[in-house]
Structure 1
Amino acid sequence: MKIAVYGATGMVGGQIVKESLRRGHEVTAVSRSGAAVRGATACRAELADVRTFANIANDHDAVVLATVPSRTGGDHSEWLTAMKAAFGSAGATRLLVVGGAGALEINGMRLCDSPDFPEPYRPEARTMAAAYDEIRSAPETLDWTMLAPAPVMQPGTRTGTYVTAGDSPAGPSITTQDFAVAVLDELESPAHHRTRFTVANSEAGTDTRTGARR
């Protein structure tokens, strides 16, 4: 499979590139810097460059969007506009979007709207939630999946197992390595067409049969 990963040099995108290569896929690592990624074809591009995105999508079986809004004070609307443009330019190519945990819900309330949600992360979480709203309204021709992480995601150990859920957190945390496993499992064996799901690492005693064992 030919897979393009936007945000390929980031904490999450980098692991998705590694997992894709580990499974023998042909990978294009897309980043603003165009930095070389061992085993992948490096590509320098901005998400907002619609023409380049359309060409990349047309040349790949799947595109993964592992990007986030500005974390240095930039206007979040620029990222959201670029994401919306990407949704409209993917054509028939499979699109997997890395979502935000803040848009998940507990008892009907989004995590990012909860008074307990960490204030410094609230603006980004709400922008990521807006991206989910945008992709849900995309034309029926767009073959998309959004995968949201657990509330805590950080580098750790690749266990190859995880548990899944729909709109509510499946657990408290997930490693970036196992999140990447879930991304590749979904790309290789699509099970969530035009919908969102979430993953978490299993706790002791939790049934992990919904996860991958690779």
Structure 2
Amino acid sequence: MSRVVVFGYSGYAGGAITRELAERGHDVLGVSRGADGEAAAVAVRAGSIFDAQLVEEVAAGADHLVVALHAQGEPPLATALPHLSASAVAHGATLSFVGGAGSLRVGENGPRVFDTPDFPEAYLPEAQAHGAILDSLREAPAELDWFYVSPAAEFGSWNPGERTGEFRIGGDVLLTAPDGSSTISGADYAIAYVDEIERGEHRRERFGVAY
């Protein structure tokens, strides 16, 4: 059993990951600006990921720090990365992110999804902000243990899907079905995420999850 801190535990992806962790018997602390003890059967704490002192406090004794938050905002999520990384290293915790699909490539040596002309302009700032976090993680010192999980292109509360327990794991290329679709349910994404927490098969790597 691991001690896992989930920033953004009350959101769509964070909530699914939190439930999966709790069901598997992990010790989970959910952190959110509007912490709600009824949102999940876990310990909760109100606070912000941008509060370096709070991050240091919750990282003490943690095995994993999970970040399931929007990347684009005021301030941008990337501004929390230095103290998140420092706390993770200091306490021997793995730092991981619920990422986006936009930074995946459309094919081997192809452009990133958010660099293609058909990528929706409304989603571009968020996708690029998440891509910048991934770039920063890849440049982080070797002592930082991290992983980053990109979902399928059609992933979100508007397309929750069902729990099947069956999915594919990819690398830096967007996974698509024979019909060209790229989907994953929240529950199955969470299974893949928690599997990684338990198995540690993608240390200092990004991987993708889709049907």
TM-score, length-normalised on structure 1? 0.88
Residue in 1 that maps onto 2:179: none
CA shift at 1:58, angstroms? 2.1
Residue among 179, 183, 188 paired with 2:189: 179
Q: Deviations over 1:172-198 (max 9, x none)?
A: 010111000001100111100101000
What displacement does 1:27 show? 0.7
1:161 to 166, 178, 183: 166
Specify the alignment match of 2:97 in structure 1. 97
Measured in 2, the distance between the counterparts of 1:58 and 1:161 equals 35
Sort the Cα spacing of 1:180 and 1:11 in 2 relative to 1 into closer, same or farther, 3 A: same
Please identify runs of 4+ aligned residues in structure 1 that moved more than 6 A.
none
CA displacement at 1:85 relative to structure 2: 3.0
User: In 2, are the aligned partners of 1:69 and 1:127 still within 8 Å (CA)?
Assistant: yes
Tell whether the 8 Å contact from 1:2 to 1:61 is kept in structure 2 after alignment.
yes
Partner of 2:153: 151
Match of 1:212 in 2: none
CA contact 2:101–2:113 (8 Å) conserved in 1: yes
What is residue 207 of structure 1 aligned with on the other side? Answer: none
**Deviation string for 1:16-71 (max 9, x for gaps)?**
0100111111111111112113320011111111121122122211111111134x
TM-score, normalized by length of structure 2? 0.89
Flag the structure with higher strand content. Answer: 1
Alpha-carbon RMSD across the aligned residues, in angstroms, is 1.3
CA contact (8 A) 1:47 1:83 kept: no
> How many residue pairs align between the two structures?
197
Kept in 2, the 8 Å contact 1:3–1:62? The answer is yes
Give the whole-Å Cα distance in 2 for the aligned partners of 1:89 and 1:165.
29
Q: Alpha-carbon deviation of 1:83?
A: 2.9
Q: Which residue of 2 aligns with 1:22?
A: 23
Unpaired runs of 5+ residues, structure 2, are 177-181
